[in-house]
Amino acid sequence: MNASQPAIYVLLLVALVAANLPFVLERRFFVFKAGSQGKAFGWRLLELTALYFLVGTIALAIESRQGQIYPQTWEFYAITYCLFLVLAYPGFVFCYLWRGR
């Protein structure tokens, strides 16, 4: 087992939890009350994007501890954001399809 494998598994678990948080919690940015009608989808998407950058920062810190940071282009960020959206699918199903409005 490589020494970086546990860090990768922890990062994937953190990404899975972070991607689903906006759909599970009803507070805006987990602090402010959402109001009587709950959070709008735009707020959830904004929180999802902020959490994507937070998880990316954690991943960058893990990569810098392993060695040299590999330079990335816009394609990398587009693909990883789409993967983050896929990780958010269970929370979306829970919030909009299973539980309903």
Tell me, rounded to whole angstroms, the distance of Cα 26 from its chain centroid: 16
Helix H or strand E segment including 9: helix 5-24
Burial class of residue 11 (count of CB atoms within 10 Å of its CB; 0-12, 13-18, 19+): middle
Domain that holds residue 84: 5-98
Q: Compute the CA torsion angle 24, 26, 31, 36 (nearest 10 deg).
A: 180
Residue 94 token pair: 């829970």
The pTM assigned to this predicted structure is 0.86
Looking at the structure of the chain, the number of domains it has is 1
What does the alpha-carbon distance between residue 48 and residue 23 come to, in Å, rounded to a whole number?
Answer: 9
Q: What is the pLDDT along the chain (101 residues), one digit of tens a residue?
A: 566 688 889 999 999 999 999 998 887 777 777 677 778 889 999 999 999 999 999 999 998 888 888 889 999 999 999 999 999 999 999 988 886 55
